[in-house]
Structures are given as C-alpha cells and as structure tokens.
Amino acid sequence: PSPKSFQPNGASEEALRCEIEELKQKDVALDQEIAQLLSEGYSLEELDKHISLLHEYNEIKDAGQMLLGKLAVIRGVTTKQLYPEYDLELSD
C-alpha cells in the first residue's frame, strides 16, 4: 500500500478535530468538577480513594455479572430470571 493510503482524508481529519475538541471540553468540565469538590472540602486524597473504590466495585460487579451469566447458561435461563433467587434488583 502507498503511504498516502495511511493518511486520513478530509472527513477523517475533521472527525479527529471534532473528537479532540470534545475531549478538551470534557477535560475542562472535569477540572471544574474537581474544583467544585475541592471547594466543598473534599481533598484530592479522598477523591483518589473514592475513585479507587469505584474501580474495585466495578471489577467485583463485572465478575458477579460474568458468574451470573455462566450460571444462567448452565441452567438454561436468562440472567434476569436469576436476580430474584439472589435477592438482586434489576438496577444492580
């Protein structure tokens, strides 16, 4: 393939510019959110701890969802049908 085939065309360049702009806006919004939390008395260490705990929670939840999925396959039911058996809410 020619080197030109690896260069983005005009539409792709524009899409990349838009994506970069969106990411910049998200960065500004996150900076504002952090500043707001700091002004409310939260510390960076506390925020880091909360983020770490959220990551841990999500990993555990993903593992639980995977196990429920495997159990559902073994039993020939949907995961939704298993929720009441384990006292889980659909929003869990």
Q: Residue 92: what pLDDT?
A: 63
43: confidence class by pLDDT, cuts 50, 70, 90: confident
26 pLDDT exceeds 90?
yes
77: confidence class by pLDDT, cuts 50, 70, 90: very high
91 pLDDT exceeds 90?
no
- Quick check: 45 and 34 in contact, CB under 8 A? no
| Segments making up each domain of the chain, as ranges | 9-42, 43-91
Q: What is the mean pLDDT of residues 6-23?
A: 80
- Mapping DSSP onto H, E and C, the string for 18-52 reads HHHHHHHHHHHHHHHHHHHHHHCCCCHHHHHHHHH
50 pLDDT exceeds 70?
yes
Q: Dihedral, CA atoms, 59, 52, 37, 22, nearest 10 degrees?
A: -60
